[in-house]
Amino acid sequence: MQHNETELRNAYERDGYLVLERFRSKADCATLRERMTQIIRTAANDHATSIFEADPKNHTCDDYFLGSGDKIHFFFEKDAFDASGNLRINREKEMLLNKAGHALHALDPIFKAFSHHASQVALVHALGLKNPQLLQSMYIFKQPGIGGEVPPHQDATFLYTEPSTVMGLWFALEDAGKDNGCLWAIPGGHKEPLKSKYVHKQTGAMAFETYDATPWDVSRMLPLEVPEGSLVVLNGLLPHMSYANRSDKTRHAYSIHLIDGQAHYPESNWLKRSHTCVNFI
């Protein structure tokens, strides 16, 4: 790795995140963007049957979402539709998508190769994961004009282990700035406890268990503006968010989440471990 591993680990432990500018090449980013376009067009009759809402008050929990852990499913932006469910905007379908997930890293060879890049494997080991397991992947579109806000949250709300080991690797496939909805995070906020968990109840229903209903102090969030190819590593307990994209530019990103296989992964997680939960090597 180019960076000093001790310095990286110290910064990650202090801040709860790392920003590694231009970690991947522009060519690698273009390959992933083009591949996603191909996947969408190939699956033209088989996608976007659900809207994705990140807000916990209305978080998507339909069967299409819950069945996406070991598949490549597509989710629309909420603002693509009016109150009657009709399309509000005359655009290609691929310009109305919110995200695709959650097993690109296992099912598609190009996403698999990008995800398992040797530099990333070395990095997550350097940051302390002993037996890294790659659980999920998402392609996030953050469309011009309609790319919705993702409210402040901790990723460990949605993927939790005991103790908490979740780590997100978020790749900017395009420049991400305040205008098109870059990430924001609270430096050091990962030292605060987990505020809620998204749990699969024994009844079969999904629900949020809330331990602390105090809202995050958004004034402590710093923007993480990064150029294309940059990698942002996020501790699963780090509070972060992104605002809506009201610009005329896309803000594509690819994100993968890992856990340490040495930690306990409760059955109540929405994402069931399957053949698409793979060793990160």
Binding site for Fe ion (CB under 5 A): 155
DSSP assignment letter at 57: G
State which residue has the least CB distance to Fe ion. 155
Residue nearer to Fe ion on the CB measure, 229 or 236:
236
Residue nearer to Fe ion on the CB measure, 54 or 199:
54
What's the closest the beta carbon of residue 153 comes to Fe ion, in angstroms?
6
Cβ-contact 230, 19 below 8 angstroms:
yes
What's the closest the beta carbon of residue 118 comes to Fe ion, in angstroms?
25
What's the closest the beta carbon of residue 158 comes to Fe ion, in angstroms?
8
SS3 of residue 114 by DSSP = helix
What's the closest the beta carbon of residue 126 comes to Fe ion, in angstroms?
22
Cβ-contact 134, 225 below 8 angstroms:
no
What's the closest the beta carbon of residue 157 comes to Fe ion, in angstroms?
9
Residue nearer to Fe ion on the CB measure, 123 or 169:
169
Residue nearer to Fe ion on the CB measure, 77 or 155:
155
What is the chain's length? 281
Q: Which residues, 6+ apart, have CB-to-CB distance to 178 below 8 Å?
A: 223, 225, 243
Residue nearer to Fe ion on the CB measure, 53 or 155:
155
Helices H / strands E in the chain, number of each: 6, 15
Q: For CA atoms 208, 214, 218, 221, give the dihedral sign.
A: negative
Point out which residues pair with 207 in neighbouring strands: 199
